[in-house]
Amino acid sequence: MAATAQQTAFGATSVDPDTPVEVESDELRVNQADGTAEFVGNVVIVQGVMRLGAPRVLVVYDEAGEKVRRMEATGGVTLVSGPDAAEAQRADYDIEAGKVRLQGDVLLVQGESTLASQDLTIDLTTGSAQMSGRVRTLLNPKN
């Protein structure tokens, strides 16, 4: 069964975008000129109940260099929130909007259900998500 877009939920609870973000990595490169910080190697980001892992994450700060505006994770990304997990080639996290967009070979696992597409956008404040780009899923009538 295939569709072009599908609404779904993601995560056990919503994530407050104002919750502190903890980042671990093998290496950190800071660029004062463009207001970015690049975390490289085994990057793990935790915010509340959400955890993101990737080989590389670029953090972009506001003009004053005081507040994180967005994060770009690349090189194969895993995003976990509660019982749900998603994998993709990249993830863009807009902190202010409280939205994460995963792109490229997206695989979403929720319990025994799996969904695949090319694009998944998650609203972290509501826990809702939308998949698009040739969505594929297997519906099990027993569950």
CATH number at residue 122: 2.60.450.10
pTM, entire model: 0.84
Asked if residue 96 is part of any domain, the answer here is yes
Asked if residue 142 is part of any domain, the answer here is no
Asked if residue 37 is part of any domain, the answer here is yes
- d(C-alpha 112, C-alpha 143), whole Å: 8
The pair of three-digit structure tokens given for residue 35, joined into one six-digit string: 């207001």
Q: What is the pLDDT along the chain (143 residues), one digit of tens a residue?
A: 344 455 556 665 566 667 888 999 999 999 988 989 999 999 999 988 889 999 999 999 988 878 889 999 999 999 998 888 999 999 999 988 989 999 999 999 888 888 999 999 998 888 888 999 899 987 666 75
- d(C-alpha 86, C-alpha 28), whole Å: 25
The boundaries of the domain holding residue 64 are 2-137
Asked if residue 82 is part of any domain, the answer here is yes
- Distance between first and last Cα of the chain: 17
Asked if residue 143 is part of any domain, the answer here is no
How many domains is the chain built from?
1
